[in-house]
Structure 1
Amino acid sequence: MSGLKLFHTTNSGVTEITPRLAEVEADVQNLIEAHMETMLGVRLLASEYSTGPVHGGRIDSLGIDENNAPAIVEYKRGTDAGVVHQGLFYMAWLMDHKDAFRHLVRDRLGAAVAAQVLWSAPRLICVAGDFTRYDVHAVREHRRSIDLVRYRFFGNEHIGLETVASVSGGTQAPRRARRQAVAQAAADVQGASMVELANAVDEALLGLGDGVNCVERKQYRAYQRLRNFACVCPPQRSKLLVYLKADPKEVDLVPGFTRDVTGLGHHGTGDLEVQLRTPRDLERALDLFRASYAAA
């Protein structure tokens, strides 16, 4: 984003909109908290959450993401070398106080969500004006899911978010293990022909760009940047279901291939269902994969 130039166009020409930092840190926090699910894929549970007198901390934003993983969001107006370590400090507290988090989820979102918290995948999201190369190196050395997100305001009506680094922790199984799981699932439904297709889908989604992480849940596998952009369900006998964040209203739906599932219950996230049966279907779906990735 540091090299991004934004221009306002008029009939008489163009005017550059100069990027700027927030006046105060709270400006960033308040805006993101008001629209956190849209911007980060995280449901806000609490703002300025106190970790108690013994720990002596206050988490900027505490939430739960699309895959029911706990999420800590920390904000800095500019560049602060301590933001990652501060977030990890709160992450350690969170993992030692799971009951407190479950109670918070239950009070805000209900018992069903509280029972599905994905403790193998806690996330730290750091939103700041910028990060040092030491920050980027540090997140790659930790065994936690950490996202470094750079922000900029453009004028009074626009904000840009750029993922500087995204590292998956214990939620991303090695590719070999994922393929073994796919093979087992396919065998269970007597659909061994789905193995190669499912592996090809995995390759296609991971290859869309840098920083794509894969989160394993029993009911689906989520592919995410900052937010989920695709969810792949276990293979069925003759098809593989993929749910995308692409807007179904902007897609020419094809019966038996794509379907608008807005408001319909299904595993994973996304309102566009893609049904894959053959490698040819995967080729047809690649543009939809790219559109969903761009929208995440």
Structure 2
Amino acid sequence: MSDVQLFRLAGASAVELPGRAATVEKHLQTLIESQMQAFLGVRFLASEYATGKTHRGRIDSLGLDENACPVIIEYKRHSNENVINQGLFYLDWLLDHRAEFQLLVMQKFGNETANAIDWAGTRLLCIAADFTRYDEHAVQQIPRNVELIRYKLFGDDLLLLDLVNAVSVGDAAAAKAGEVNVAAPAKPKALGKDKTAEEQLAQAHPETRKLYEATASYLLALGDDVQEKQLKQYMAFRRLKNFACIVPYKDKLLVMLKLDPDTVAIEAGFSRDVRNIGSWGTGDLELTLRNQNDLARALPLLERSYNEN
């Protein structure tokens, strides 16, 4: 079990709450599935999904994340159970059965969502009471989007989720065929006539590119658990869930944050409430950064979004 400790403060005393693993795997699975979007930023699709007679398996949970990427979630109560290998087996199955998954999404969320699936970001989340150092080393050698998440229950009403390790590749679908190097992400393809975020950034003014580098560096430095994911229309920065997304343009950056606009002083030309406005990325607060001064103004909000998500 991990060394995370949780204390209840009562007056002048501090009482440690004993942590524990789920007594049965199904209890953990049911808990995560019931609040999957709140916990992980993933929309629940199916539980115990059968992989057919050939593979003869059942995927614990299937979902679609906030970036429209397919997600497999596998659960294990103990660190000595082989959750990673099992998850990788199902991940390969999923990439070989895209039409089946797309049909499932279509039935659950509709045609528009199904047509927008981003296979390049397909992910495997392994949730366990703990992982060994060998697990953490092993996932670093695998060209797949794999995240190891440690959990701990405290009493009957507290759940801790801790991102232990994460590996991100540019294109999980290409990695399936052995075409991608982890250190050299593949370029996302544009949707229709829209330019990709990478193309937008490449064509931006030099000052805007420097502004992006400074913003991205700050976001990544907020914590060891921050991951940067390049998607078709924006760059996502996430922990377990997105907390910031950057949409680059020629002379500015639009930064989407998961903050309640009602708690922020809206400034014309710098920040706006986009709850009822279509936009790329995730989040209800949009910031417009045109120079380093704008970035300096944005830093407290960037940090706040990180802390609250």
With the length of structure 1 as denominator, give the TM-score of the two structures: 0.91
Q: Report the Cα offset of residue 274 of structure 1.
A: 1.0
Distance 1:183 1:118, change over 3 A: closer
- Pair 1:204-2:218 in alignment: yes
Letter in 2 for 1:229: F
Quote the Cα distance in structure 2 between the aligned partners of 1:97 and 1:24. 30
Tell me the equivalent position of 1:46.
46
Rounded Cα–Cα distance in structure 1 between residues aligned with 2:9 and 2:138: 41
Larger deviation: 152-161 or 209-218?
209-218
What are the within-5 Å matches in structure 2 for residues 1-296 of structure 1? 2-11=2-11, 13-171=13-171, 185=200, 188=203, 191-237=205-251, 239-296=252-309
CA distance, structure 1, for counterparts of residue 45 and residue 197 of structure 2 = 34
- Residue 209 of structure 2 aligns to a residue whose secondary structure is helix
Shift of 1:33: 0.4
Write the distance in 1 (CA, Å) between the matches of 2:144 and 2:249: 29
Alpha-carbon spacing, 1:289–1:254, altered in 2? closer, same or farther (3 Å):
same
CA-based RMSD of the aligned residues comes to 2.4
Q: Deviations over 1:106-147 (max 9, x none)?
A: 111111111111111110001110001111011100000111
Deviations 1:165-209 (A, max 9, x none): 01112248859x89xx878525757x4432221222222222222
2:197/2:235 contact within 8 Å kept: no
Letter in 1 for 2:89: F
Shift of 1:4: 2.9
Residues 222-252 of structure 1, C-alpha deviation per residue, up to 9 Å, x if partnerless? 1122211111112144x21100113333333
Task: State how many pairs are aligned.
Answer: 292
Q: Which amino acid aligns with 1:83?
A: V
CA distance in 1, matches of 2:7, 2:217: 36
Unaligned ranges ≥5, structure 1:
none
Classify 1:53/1:248 alpha carbon distance in 2 versus 1 (closer, same or farther; 3 Å): same
Distance 2:291 2:29 in 1: 46
Mark the CA change 1:235 to 1:155 in structure 2 (over 3 Å): closer, same or farther: same
Q: TM-score, normalised by structure 2?
A: 0.87
CA distance in 2, matches of 1:74, 1:196: 40
| SS class of match (2:53) | coil
Q: Answer whether contact 1:182 1:198 (CA < 8 A) is retained.
A: no
Distance 1:182 1:35, change over 3 A: closer
**CA, structure 1 residues 183+152, in 2 after alignment: closer, same or farther (shift >3 Å)?**
closer
Matched residue of 1:100: which SS? helix
Describe the shift of the 1:86–1:186 C-alpha distance in structure 2 as closer, same or farther (beyond 3 A): closer
8 Å Cα contact 2:50-2:58 kept in structure 1:
yes
2: CA distance, partners of 1:159 / 1:263? 32
